[in-house]
């Protein structure tokens, strides 16, 4: 975080939602203006684009110094490197493709960087959230092990994802890296994972189990309260709905982690109910395959630990260090015999991580362009 905290460049940012746009500006990794909130007007392209320019102009007028770029998350599908937004379900006016980045670059005379919110969330957590926190805890515990890679997922209206490898955000050749929501749903294989790893999935399962019409589904916070006994409702259904969500998320993460071998950070609105779904998620990651003769094989080679459970964190930090003698001599080396990964909640907060990721992405891109 220290290089960002000392960087005096200003970047204009945006939190783009289906109903509203929240504009801000960041300097030294922190917001420096009063946010400006405008309706998204996603069904009227001209009004939406005019609102984007108006919002950025309003925060630019408050900036303590001239901004060097615009950088923000915007829904996809999109060609993010070229700033082209595709057919958006929640912003129908964008269907057919809109050159949003080039339009804003022309309007402000500044570089414009657009990314997916799951990507920027993961990037922010990799720079100043879960990833450095884990490495600091390992250092304090006297462990030589360090992590450089991070897989991030957000659980809320959708099931977003991103991956950072050794400080670099993986974007893919079609702006499609980290699209974890499109993995198969373990419990309903004809559906994609998001149908079981999102607010609508949670509500649908609760209603099915509780015998409640879907149009009368409680909000996720109420389902959480029902599950912990703080509100009236079908407690067993609420608890099972969260367990099933954890199982679906765990299965999707298991497929992804087989490829990327990284720590995982979880954010989004549903992450506040982690006590109800995290055990099932971690159990799924530590589950076994069964072979044709009944033999078992671990789903993931590394052992996975819940980093927000004190006992599990302790075992994760300790590892299994062993002293080995180098063959042919007396020299000793230390070998950690426990391959391991961890899953933990966002250390920054989802919105804060996205904003920091957007800020850092712009600065890194500008610096690389100069070299």
Domain membership flag for residue 362: no
Average pLDDT over residues 101-113: 97
Question: Could you tell me the CATH number of the domain that includes residue 212?
Answer: 3.30.420.40
Q: Are residues 223 and 275 in the same domain?
A: yes
SS3 77: coil
Where is pLDDT greater, at 87 or 305? 305
User: Of 265, 226, 244, 251, nearest to 343 (Cα)?
Assistant: 265
Please state the separation of Cα 177 from the chain's center in Å. Answer: 12
* Residue bearing the bigger pLDDT, 76 or 227: 227
Q: Is residue 360 part of a domain?
A: no
C-beta atoms surrounding 294 within 10 Å: 6
Arithmetic mean of pLDDT, 189-206: 97
Whether residues 67 and 180 share a domain: the answer is no
Q: CA–CA separation, 180 vs 161, rounded Å?
A: 6
Q: Is residue 255 part of a domain?
A: yes
Asked whether residue 210 falls in the same domain as residue 315, the answer is yes
Percent of the chain with pLDDT over 70: 99
Quick one: tokens of 115? 């990314």
Name the average pLDDT for the chain. 94
| Same-domain status, 98 and 163 | no
Q: Average pLDDT of 278-304? A: 96
Q: Are residues 310 and 234 in the same domain?
A: yes
pLDDT (average), residues 343-353: 95
Question: Per-residue pLDDT averaged across 268-296, rounded?
Answer: 96
pLDDT of res. 371: 55
The mean pLDDT of 345-367, rounded to a whole number, is: 94
Q: Are residues 289 and 157 in the same domain?
A: yes
Asked if residue 356 is part of any domain, the answer here is no
What is the percent of the chain where pLDDT is above 90? 87
Q: Which of 62, 91, 115 is the last residue of a domain?
A: 115
- The mean pLDDT value for 82-111 works out to 90
133 and 103 share one domain: no
Residue 15: what pLDDT?
84
Instruction: Quote the crossing angle between the two packed helices 117-128 and 350-370, to the nearest 10°.
Output: 80
Q: Is there a domain that residue 313 lies in?
A: yes
pLDDT digits (tens, 9 = 90+) for 208-256: 999 999 998 999 999 999 999 999 999 999 999 999 999 999 999 999 9
What's the pLDDT at 30?
A: 93
Full-model pTM: 0.93
Q: Per-residue pLDDT tens for 153-167?
A: 999 989 999 999 999
Residue 297 is encoded by which pair of tokens? 């094989």
Distance CA 172, CA 45 (A): 28
Q: What are the two backbone dihedrals, phi and then psi, of residue 184, each rounded to the nearest 5 degrees?
A: -70, 145
Structure token pair of residue 231: 């509100």
- Helix, strand or coil, per DSSP, at residue 86: coil
3-state secondary structure of 199: helix
Lookup: tokens for 48: 């939406």
**Is residue 299 helix, strand or coil?**
coil
Q: Domain end: 82, 115, 148, which one? A: 115
Give the total number of structural domains in the chain. 2
What is the pLDDT at residue 87?
Answer: 84
Same domain, 173 and 107: no
pLDDT in the model for residue 253: 98
Confidence at residue 50, expressed as pLDDT on a 0 to 100 scale: 96
What is the residue range of 67's domain? 2-115
In a domain, 126, yes or no: yes
* Average pLDDT estimate for 273-295: 96
Within this chain, do residues 142 and 288 fall inside the same structural domain, yes or no? yes
Termini Cα distance of the chain: 22
Closest-CA residue to 13 (of 24, 22, 27): 24
- pLDDT for res 1: 46
Mean pLDDT (whole number) for 339-350: 97
Q: Would 131 be classed as within a structural domain?
A: yes
Q: Note whether 178 and 131 are same-domain residues.
A: yes
Is residue 364 assigned to a domain? Answer: no
| pLDDT score, position 89 | 72
pLDDT bucket at 264, cuts 50 / 70 / 90? very high
**Statement to judge: residues 248 and 133 lie in one domain:** yes
The answer to whether residues 149 and 28 belong to one domain is: no
């Amino acid at each position: 975080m220290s290089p960002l905290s000392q960087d005096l460049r200003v970047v204009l940012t945006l939190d783009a939602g289906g109903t509203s746009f929240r504009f801000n500006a960041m300097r030294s990794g922190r917001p420096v203006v009063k946010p400006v909130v405008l309706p998204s007007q996603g069904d009227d392209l001209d009004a939406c684009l005019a609102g984007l320019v108006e919002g950025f102009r309003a925060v630019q007028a408050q900036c303590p110094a001239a901004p060097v770029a615009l950088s923000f998350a915007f829904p996809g599908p999109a060609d993010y490197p070229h700033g082209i937004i595709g057919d958006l379900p929640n912003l129908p006016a964008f269907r057919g493709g809109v050159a949003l980045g080039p339009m804003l670059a022309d309007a402000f005379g500044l570089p414009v960087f657009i990314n997916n919110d799951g990507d920027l969330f993961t990037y922010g957590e990799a720079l100043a959230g879960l990833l450095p926190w884990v490495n600091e805890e390992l250092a304090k515990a006297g462990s030589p092990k360090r992590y450089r890679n991070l897989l991030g997922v957000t659980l809320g209206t959708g099931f977003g994802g991103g991956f950072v490898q050794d400080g670099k955000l993986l974007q893919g050749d079609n702006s499609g890296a980290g699209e974890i929501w499109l993995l198969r749903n373990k419990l309903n294989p004809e559906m994609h994972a998001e149908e079981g790893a999102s607010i609508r999935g949670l509500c649908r399962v609760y209603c099915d189990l509780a015998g409640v019409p879907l149009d009368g589904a409680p909000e996720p916070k109420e389902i959480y309260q029902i599950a912990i006994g703080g509100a009236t409702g079908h407690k067993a259904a609420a608890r099972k709905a969260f367990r099933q969500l954890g199982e679906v998320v765990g299965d999707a993460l298991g497929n992804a982690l087989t490829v990327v071998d990284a720590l995982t950070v979880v954010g989004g609105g549903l992450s506040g109910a982690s006590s109800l779904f995290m055990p099932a998620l971690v159990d799924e990651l530590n589950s076994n395959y069964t072979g044709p003769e009944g033999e078992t094989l671990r789903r993931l080679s590394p052992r996975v630990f819940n980093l927000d459970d004190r006992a599990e964190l302790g075992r994760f930090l300790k590892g299994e260090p062993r002293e080995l003698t180098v063959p042919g001599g007396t020299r000793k080396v230390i070998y950690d015999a426990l391959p391991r990964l961890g899953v933990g909640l966002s250390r920054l907060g989802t919105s804060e991580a996205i904003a920091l990721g957007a800020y850092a992405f712009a600065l890194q891109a500008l610096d690389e362009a100069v070299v």
